[in-house]
Amino acid sequence: MEQVTDHILAAARKVIAVHINYPSRAAQRGRTPEQPSYFLKPSSSLALSGSTVERPAGCELLGYEGEIALVIGKPARRVSLEDAWGHVQWVTASNDLGVYDLRYADKGSNLRSKGGDGFTPVGPALIPAADVDPSGLRIRTWHNGELVQDDTTEELLFPFARLVADLSQLLTLETGDIILSGTPAGASVAQPGDVIEVEVTAGGFSSGRLTTTVTEGTTALADFGARPKADDAQREEAYGSREAAGLAAVVPVLTPELKKKLESVATATLSSQLRKRGLNNVSIDGLQSTRPERRVVGLARTLRYVPNREDLFTTHGGGFNAQKRAIDSVNEGEILVMEARGEKGTGTVGDILALRAQMRGAAAIITDGGVRDYSAVAGLDMPTYFANPHPAVLGRRHIPWDTDITIACGGATVQPGDIIVADSDGILVIPPAIAGELVDECIEQEKEESFIFEMVKQGNSVDGLYPMNAQWRARYAEWEGSHSD
């Protein structure tokens, strides 16, 4: 097979990289794009196998990403999906290197973070594209000899032909141009002295191992430009997880203990304690439940619909829109809360998407709009809280617009991460910062109310008992002591 040479690199006028394309990477990042998005790397970043790459002086986070590179063989301009693969001549291995310390500087263009000299090694061998199935390639990456990435192109979010066809709609892909097609999960950070290897295989073909050695830069970045900055958010992104970055785990807001306590107290009690704290507008009103016998507690995820406008529905209503993205990203125990403006003249969710939310482990769906396929939705184990059944699809009145933002639902403001408690008595939105103290006082209130209920049952008047005066407080203290574990 032909080898990647300086001549091949010199022919590349453009290097175009895809942000997210592998489902494993999308799951790791917590977002699944509706359409492919791209950034440019300068051709001066290209390097051959066996080269070294410098981690700039003062930088901490040199990330590596094993990728499959597509080399354009003949110009492509406004090509169809069916013809697009025929414009790719070669397939080979690549490494999309970058320093996370400089990501902040260019607001998404990645020029400084991923455009450095040697930041795009490719090779060593070129696999003929015409001889392989683009959905049957395998990519593997080794970090100091340890296999860290291993995935295939069978279930790409955006198959290779789509990338070529999509890019060609607006720009001409010229002979020699290189497309980096995304990285799977497992990308991480390399230190000076580390060796990164990437290999692409397809049937009996192999690119061979693309080898890159990391060195430490000795020339500091000038102070008239962007200076390296690294924080824990960037470390988590670079390494792929907080654990891999050596960071302490984030303590969940809704711990199992807190969740159990919230499940144990009445919604009415929670409401009264919220009111004592001056929080009077924290109930989602006017909804009914498919499972009125169930009580759910979970963290809010949010979805916002805006009124339908036909030109905007064309761009935002179809495909993997905000509604589907919200449903497909809800996690175990979370509650998807929808802002539908109280619009009852159409559905906001139906049986298939409600089932998908249940399969994802959602604790509930809450919408202040209508529900389609009511019987099927009501048959699910997961509760859905809604204004009314309605047979129409959401496009009659709504455009799915945005997710994980502050919304209004049933007269209440809901933010992502708020704690939702819902049952047949109502739906409450609890600010997470006060939840622990709030529920402890609810537990104490319900103990007092149990005592009061028992005293009334014995024939005592509520005068002085409800609320308790000093005399009854003393009797309550004795009663509490006799009923303590």
Give the model's confidence band at 479: pLDDT under 50 very low, under 70 low, under 90 confident, else very high.
Answer: confident
Q: Write the pLDDT tens digit of every residue in 84-109.
A: 999 999 999 999 999 999 988 887 78
Cα–Cα distances in angstroms (integers) from residue 401 to residues 26, 279, 303, 386, in the given order: 20, 29, 8, 19
pLDDT at residue 108 in the model: 75
Mean pLDDT for the chain overall: 93
**Which residues neighbour 64 within 8 Å (Cβ) at sequence distance 6 or greater?**
95, 96, 97, 141, 143, 187, 188, 189, 190, 196, 212
- Percent share of the chain, pLDDT over 90: 77
The whole-number pLDDT of residue 19 equals 93
Give the C-alpha separation, 255 to 188, whole Å: 29
Q: What is the pLDDT of residue 484?
A: 64
Work out the average pLDDT over 326-332.
Answer: 91
Q: CB neighbours of 229 closer than 8 A, spacing ≥ 6?
A: 101, 102, 104
CB-count burial class (<10 Å; 0-12, 13-18, 19+) for 269 = buried
Query: What span, in angstroms and rounded, lies between the C-alpha atoms of 110 and 98?
Result: 8
The confidence score (pLDDT) of residue 485 equals 55
Task: Confirm if 16 and 10 have CB atoms less than 8 A apart.
Answer: no
- Please check whether the two domains, 6-239 and 280-430, share a CATH topology: no
**Digit-coded pLDDT (tens) for 130-173:** 999 999 999 999 999 999 999 999 999 999 999 999 999 999 99
Read off the pLDDT of residues 305-319 as tens digits, 9 standing for 90 and up: 999 999 999 888 888
Evaluate the omega torsion of the peptide bond into residue 400 and state whether it is cis, within 30 degrees of 0: no
Burial 131-153 (b: 16+ CB within 10 A, else e): ebebeebbbbbbbeeeebbebeb
State the average pLDDT over residues 321-342. 93
- Residue with structure tokens 């919304």? 407
Whole-number pLDDT of residue 215: 96
Instruction: Give dist(CA 202, CA 193) in Å, integer.
Output: 30
Least confident interval from 27-36, 61-70, 168-177, 367-376: 27-36
* Residues 286, 412: Cα–Cα separation, whole Å: 11
Determine the pLDDT at residue 42. Answer: 96
Contact 402, 412 (CB under 8 A): no
For residues 279 and 4, the model is more confident at 279
User: Which residue, among 355, 350, 306, 357, has the nearest Cα to 335 in the 3D structure?
Assistant: 357
pLDDT at 70: 97
- Over range 23-38, report the average pLDDT: 87
CATH 3.90.1570.10 fits 280-430, yes or no: no
Taking residues 7-28, what's their average pLDDT? 92
Q: What is the pLDDT of residue 34?
A: 85
Distances from the Cα of 174 to the Cα of 80, 92, 115, angstroms: 16, 17, 20
When comparing pLDDT for 142 and 480, which is higher? 142
| Average pLDDT of the residues in 380-390 | 96
pLDDT at 126 over 90: yes
Q: Which CATH superfamily is domain 6-239 in?
A: Fumarylacetoacetase-like, C-terminal domain (3.90.850.10)
How many whole angstroms separate alpha carbon 38 and alpha carbon 207? Answer: 24
CA separation for the pair 429, 267 (Å, rounded): 11
Nearest to 449 by CA among 242, 220, 265: 265
Per-residue pLDDT tens digits for 405-424: 999 999 999 999 999 999 98
Q: Which helix (H) or strand (E) holds 481?
A: helix 470-483
Q: Percentage of the chain surpassing pLDDT 70?
A: 99
Q: What is the pLDDT of residues 184-215, one digit of tens each?
A: 999 999 999 999 999 999 989 999 999 999 99
Q: Is the pLDDT of residue 355 over 80?
A: yes
Predicted confidence at residue 232, as pLDDT, reads 87
Residue spans of the domains in the chain: they are 6-239, 280-430, 436-483
Compute φ and ψ for 168, nearest 5 degrees.
-70, -10
